[in-house]
């Protein structure tokens, strides 16, 4: 009888152990699932459950849980170019027309006389602003006017500055709206003056940043192109006579300069020799008498 009761007790203990193990396994799986889905942050004694991306989702190539923003590059393009044409003035006029036809405009231009030996020619500079998308075609058209002797292209990346200025401007505009709301709720004169003073400061910064942003937009939208226009150097035939005469005159002048310098060096010595020679002659004559 005792053996029978003992067997029953052992069977019940085994059933209880199996049940407890199963519950512990279910609880562990449930806790693991929750731990993968949530991160618990302790802050001032309070717990906050924050939804987190699981490790598998972070590395399986699916980034749907995170928002990505593509940033358009902002560049300021400046170009320096030198071209040789038959007529500098006519070339600058033609470049001006090309700039206007491309949707741009002329910023500055001038033509001046350039001297080669005794012959004269003309040179000029012109600075134009052309839309960024049109400047390659514009440069090709300008190259057809003559011989391009030099060209340099510089693209300055201002993306970081543009994003920074835009973000600061947005923050200041929100601050301005909030200050306007506070101004409508103020009751005393002192509070109104304080809020208006802060509003004036914020609006001043907004105007400054807006001006900077407009400047960047203009420089980004329009490329700045500076072109130096030159004429071919005149070819003159003097058969060498003019050069020979010039060299002979220069040689004569150089010889005269050398003689003058030599006389300057020898003059004191000549004076000393003359004085000593004269004294010797006078003494000799006296001795003969």
pLDDT (tens, 9 = 90+) of the chain, 289 residues, equals 444 444 444 445 444 544 444 444 434 444 333 333 333 323 333 332 323 333 333 333 343 333 334 668 899 999 999 999 999 999 999 999 999 999 999 999 998 887 654 456 788 999 999 999 999 999 999 999 999 999 999 999 999 999 999 999 999 999 999 998 888 887 788 888 888 899 999 999 999 999 999 999 999 999 999 999 998 876 555 556 666 777 888 888 888 888 888 888 888 888 888 888 888 878 877 787 6
* Cα–Cα distance measured from residue 133 to residue 260, given in angstroms and rounded to the nearest whole number: 70
Bridge partners of residue 109, in order along the sequence: 126
Beta carbons of 186 and 192 less than 8 angstroms apart: yes
Alpha helices in 87-238 (DSSP H): 88-101, 135-143, 159-185, 189-221
| Both tokens assigned to 50 | 């924050």
Q: Is the overall model pTM greater than 0.85, yes or no?
A: no
* Cα–Cα distance measured from residue 16 to residue 8, given in angstroms and rounded to the nearest whole number: 12
């Amino acid at each position: 009888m005792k053996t029978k009761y003992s067997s029953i007790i052992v069977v019940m203990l085994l059933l209880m152990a199996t049940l407890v193990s199963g519950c512990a396994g279910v609880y562990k799986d449930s806790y693991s699932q929750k731990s993968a889905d949530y991160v618990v942050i302790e802050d001032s004694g309070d717990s906050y459950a924050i939804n987190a991306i699981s490790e598998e989702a972070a590395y399986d190539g699916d980034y749907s849980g995170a928002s990505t923003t593509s940033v358009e590059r902002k560049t300021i393009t400046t170009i320096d170019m030198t071209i040789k044409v038959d007529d500098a003035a006519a070339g600058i006029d033609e470049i001006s027309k090309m700039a206007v036809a491309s949707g741009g405009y002329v910023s500055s231009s001038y033509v001046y006389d350039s001297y080669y030996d005794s012959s004269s020619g003309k040179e000029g500079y012109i600075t134009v602003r052309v839309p960024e998308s049109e400047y390659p075609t514009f440069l090709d058209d300008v190259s057809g006017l003559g011989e391009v002797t030099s060209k340099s292209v510089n693209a300055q990346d201002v993306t970081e500055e543009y994003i920074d200025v835009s973000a600061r401007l947005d923050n200041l505009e929100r601050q301005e709206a909030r200050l306007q709301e506070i101004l409508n709720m103020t009751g005393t004169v002192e509070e109104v003056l304080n809020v208006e003073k802060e509003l004036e400061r914020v609006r001043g910064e907004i105007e400054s940043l807006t001006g900077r942003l407009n400047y960047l937009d203009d420089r980004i939208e329009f490329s700045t192109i500076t072109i130096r226009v030159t004429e071919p150097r005149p070819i003159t035939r003097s058969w060498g006579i003019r050069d020979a005469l010039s060299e002979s005159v220069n040689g004569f002048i150089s010889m005269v300069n050398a003689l003058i310098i030599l006389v300057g060096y020898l003059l004191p010595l000549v004076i000393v020799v003359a004085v000593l020679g004269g004294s010797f002659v006078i003494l000799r004559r006296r001795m003969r008498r």
